[in-house]
Amino acid sequence: MAGSALRKGYLVLYNAASAVAWATILGRVASVYFAKGAPFVPLVVDDFARVTQTFAVMEIFHALTGIVPAPIFTTAMQVASRLMLVWGISYPFPHLNTSAWYSSMLAAWSTTEVIRYSYFALKQVDFVPYSLHWLRYSAFLLLYPLGISSEVAMIIKALVGPADKLATWYPYALLAVLLSYIPGSVVLYSHMLSQRRKQVGGAAGAAKKEKKRQ
């Protein structure tokens, strides 16, 4: 009983803090992008976004230890791809962060994570509005293609630009990562579609709505 309470308390705190961190990123990206333009976005968000995304390695730990019932492979794949973007592209080539692709990438990531972490924090206390439940399993239909296309654009900009100045082998490494997006994006998107069918499709969606009315 005590262990269950500690686990629940930890997950509420972890998910709530993560939701706040990503909401901060989203707010900074949106306000600066529309007020001054994409070139100014990294000035207010770059380091904070990198630290926040790096902290997401906890997701892999949670899946490995069973703290949350998340699939290890897809969790590790998503976290690794983002870490590659923030440490393998954004960090060594900061001038690429002035691109609109960088802003759209962070906008897609942060919107997704605000929804996801808010959902999981509220789920621990059994208080998830159906609207948030629907967003959790539907927003990816738009946000995932936006995020993936932005990530691919950032990799290509590095590949055809400054990558070879970092190391002679680096362009080949980026090309391998780029090619991995073909099967990787299909696996992740298919997984999310499967989750959506289980959670909001047909009878599942009707049951959720009925439960909220009771």
Place of tokens 């897809």: 74
70 Rama class: left (phi>0) / alpha (psi -120 to 50) / beta: beta
> In the chain, what's the furthest Cα-to-Cα distance?
63
Token pair for residue 99? 């691109």
Residue with tokens 């290509």: 156
33 among known catalytic residues: no
The catalytic residue among 144, 170, 181, 189 is 144
Cα gap 155→90, rounded to integer Å = 10
And the tokens for 53?
């995304």
Residue 151 a catalytic site member: yes
Tokens read off for 72? 């290890």
Catalytic residue, from 102, 117, 119, 151: name it. Answer: 151
Catalogue the active-site residues: 144, 151
